[in-house]
Structure 1
Amino acid sequence: MVAATDRPVRKRTEVVVATRRKSGRWQGQATLVALRVAVIAIALLLWQVLSGPVLPEYAVSKPTEVAGALVEMLGSASGWADIRATVVEVVAGFSMGVVLGALLGLLLGSFPLAGRVLEPLVAAFNGIPKIALAPLFLLFFGIGAWSKITIAMIGPAFVMFYNIYLGLRLRERELVEVVQVMGGRRHHLLAYVTIPTLAAPFFAALKTGGPLAILGVIGAEFIASTEGLGHGLFTSAMNLDAATEFAGLIVLVTMTLILNGLLTWLDKLALKRLGLTARDRPAAEHA
């Protein structure tokens, strides 16, 4: 009887403890956000005060001037044309690189002999600085969008290839044999072994390859282009227009954060659907 009476009390206690923990987490997050905002505000204030008396204004501009340049960029048709051109090149190059790298990783990872023969050649090609290939692609595709898309494709392709290739090689042989002994066919191995094994490396490669695609596009636009954020940054630097330069950098940072946020959301959603918990991602720094 006493134990039965204590059950509602324990339940209420557990509810109160859980509520306090949740409230504590929210308070902790709010504190982190407030501290980050404070750091940014202090940095902007120092930038505004030191620009001119201490730092050369022609090189660093001022936050107020950068804000004006950003508003002007976002309010002009040419500014949005540059943003649109860069976004299209990044999305196209990133998508093609992911598909190419995944297919190559699956192919060489599924056929060990082909992997032993071709993997050193892939590693040798990966050792070439990606931006050094830009003039070659410019000769093939001209200064249009395809030369930028091709450069953007290379970085994500190599990252995806290595993650998928190594993920297949590290697949647990004992688990594969157990599934085979139990009468499992190829589609069972794919569903219960291969996909869960490659899920985390795949999404790690996505999150690593996104910034590489942006870097490739901007580098190629620096070398030769008629539109795009890289073209705008290069033109601003040549004109010593620091305010517009920083405005373009803000747009680039925003683009990177949006891409990373989308990939993080997709990562969590896919792992949740697959019934996998978040775990340490493999190092995907092969580009």
Structure 2
Amino acid sequence: MVTATRSAERTTEAAAEPRRQGERWRGTATVVLLRVAVIVLAGVLWQVLSGPVLPEYAVSKPTDVVDALWTYLQSAQGWTDIKTTSIEILAGFGIGVALGTAAGLLLGSFRLAGQVLEPLIAAINGIPKIALAPLFLLFFGIGIWSKIAIAVTGVAFVVFYNIYLGLRLRQRELVEIVQVMGGRRHHVLGYVTVPTLAAPFFAALKTGGPLAILGVIGAEFIASAEGVGHELFVAASNLDAPNEFAGLIVLVVMTLILNGILTRLDAYALKKLGLAGRRRARKG
């Protein structure tokens, strides 16, 4: 009787799964359609209000922006700018993550080192990153390395603090339980430290991505020979609103791509660590 009941429950669950998947797909499709509708509505209002209400020289028109974007993407210089900025962002982001992770693990693992150096790091972090751009230009020149250095400073501090505080807030009781059961350092790392740091680490990655883009574009504004930020600076200097908005659209797309990659990486890593269900439970 019990076996038959369990079999019936499994059959019911199997039959309900396609319906749940269909509901999820419909919900996702609804959200996407609403987003597209908002973008279309904003574009229509922009087109209608530009001129009669808003100064066209300052905000341009969507039709002119699309034309400028198409021209930019068809040019060799446009793709050179995108390639240069992408390299600077990815290199700065990667180096910043590596340095921030190493510093966070080091100072979080050795309490005395953390007590000595953490206030100094906080003081350095208080300096606006863009204020360091002239200094990096003196050290690295006008090329890509000065932009990479600015991106590194923005990302490294965010990753450092998330890792450092994550280690400080690690549950000592769990560490002691693993050690009492005969666990060694690698057991503590695998069963306590990594699951504890996973969420703050990926949160730092998603926060650091836009900071890397902000640092690179700000540095390209100050001094550069190519890059999307350079294109934006030239367009602003010439009061060229269509090309200014075209460059901003390119930046938005780059940000969405980076954020999408980090979101998928976050979901994949948490699934491998067995933490995805815990996150869904918290959301619920």
Q: State the match for 2:120 in structure 1.
A: 121
Q: State the match for 2:39 in structure 1.
A: 40
- Which range moves more in the overlay, 203-212 or 138-147? 138-147
Measure the CA separation in 2 of the matches of 1:128 and 1:22. Answer: 49
Give 1:278 deviation, angstroms. Answer: 5.8
Measure the CA separation in 2 of the matches of 1:10 and 1:155. Answer: 53
- Which range moves more in the overlay, 6-15 or 62-71? 6-15
Unaligned 5+ runs, structure 1? 281-287
Q: Give the secondary-structure state (helix, strand or coil) at the position aligned to 2:42.
A: helix
Amino acid at match of 2:68: A
Deviations 1:21-43 (A, max 9, x none): 33222222222211111111111
Q: Give the secondary-structure state (helix, strand or coil) at the position aligned to 2:275.
A: coil
- Which range moves more in the overlay, 232-241 or 177-186? 177-186
Q: State the match for 1:259 in structure 2.
A: 258
RMSD over aligned Cα, in angstroms? 1.9
User: 1:193/1:219 Cα in 2 relative to 1: closer, same or farther (>3 Å)?
Assistant: same
Q: State the match for 1:63 in structure 2.
A: 62
User: 1:11/1:240 Cα in 2 relative to 1: closer, same or farther (>3 Å)?
Assistant: same
Give 1:154 deviation, angstroms. Answer: 0.6
Q: Give the secondary-structure state (helix, strand or coil) at the position aligned to 1:92.
A: helix
Amino acid at match of 2:173: E
Q: State the match for 1:200 in structure 2.
A: 199
User: 1:19/1:40 Cα in 2 relative to 1: closer, same or farther (>3 Å)?
Assistant: same
Amino acid at match of 2:166: G
Amino acid at match of 1:82: D
Q: Give the secondary-structure state (helix, strand or coil) at the position aligned to 1:212.
A: helix
Q: Give the secondary-structure state (helix, strand or coil) at the position aligned to 2:170.
A: coil
More helix by share: 2
Amino acid at match of 2:151: A
Q: State the match for 1:165 in structure 2.
A: 164
1:86 and 2:85 matched: yes
Q: Give the secondary-structure state (helix, strand or coil) at the position aligned to 1:67.
A: helix
Give 1:233 deviation, angstroms. Answer: 0.1
Deviations 1:114-153 (A, max 9, x none): 1001100001111111111111111211211111000000
Measure the CA separation in 2 of the matches of 1:183 and 1:244. Answer: 64
Amino acid at match of 1:272: K
Measure the CA separation in 1 of the matches of 2:195 and 2:13. Answer: 35
Measure the CA separation in 2 of the matches of 1:80 and 1:279. Answer: 42
Measure the CA separation in 2 of the matches of 1:255 and 1:194. Answer: 33
Q: Give the secondary-structure state (helix, strand or coil) at the position aligned to 2:276.
A: coil
Amino acid at match of 2:211: L
User: 1:14/1:121 Cα in 2 relative to 1: closer, same or farther (>3 Å)?
Assistant: same
Q: State the match for 2:152 in structure 1.
A: 153
Identity value in percent: 73
Q: State the match for 1:190 in structure 2.
A: 189
Q: State the match for 2:109 in structure 1.
A: 110
Q: State the match for 1:284 in structure 2.
A: none
Q: TM-score, normalised by structure 1?
A: 0.92
Q: State the match for 1:224 in structure 2.
A: 223
Measure the CA separation in 2 of the matches of 1:32 and 1:13. Answer: 29
Unaligned 5+ runs, structure 2? 280-284
Amino acid at match of 2:252: V
Deviations 1:11-56 (A, max 9, x none): 6554444333332222222222111111111111111111111111
User: 1:108/1:7 Cα in 2 relative to 1: closer, same or farther (>3 Å)?
Assistant: closer
Q: TM-score, normalised by structure 2?
A: 0.93
Amino acid at match of 2:220: E
